[in-house]
Amino acid sequence: MKDKDVVEKAFDNLKERLNLRLLAVSSKPSLDGKLLVQFVALIYLSYITKKMQENKLFKTYTLQEVLDELDVIECFEVPGRRLQVSETTKHQIELYPKLGPRYNSPKI
């Protein structure tokens, strides 16, 4: 029963973070698009939460702190050239491998 409460609380927190409570849109296609984007974002947040638990990152970070730390990294593409990644800090480079293979550290 405790696990169910933990899951429900985590889901409620994620819904609040993604602003799922207010679905003010002007058309059905807008609603569909908003729900799809929020659903995909919820999947990513769940994945990051799982990786943080596996790597015991909640001892030193909150989910919001991890998101804020990685949010400032920018990636851009110039046609005909390699994907460019903005400057990353030592702290960000140490955090990336702990979040799984899809979050490999960018080359500096």
Range of the domain at 81: 2-103
Q: Which H or E run includes 46?
A: helix 28-54
pTM: 0.65
Task: Provide the number of structural domains found in the chain.
Answer: 1
End-to-end CA distance of the chain: 47
Q: Does residue 66 belong to any structural domain of this protein?
A: yes
Local confidence band at 6 (pLDDT 50, 70, 90 cut-offs): low
Taking only the tens place, the pLDDT of each residue in 68-82 is: 988 888 888 889 998
Local confidence band at 103 (pLDDT 50, 70, 90 cut-offs): very low
For residues 41 and 18, the answer to whether their CB atoms sit within 8 Å is: yes
Q: Does residue 26 belong to any structural domain of this protein?
A: yes
Q: Does residue 108 belong to any structural domain of this protein?
A: no
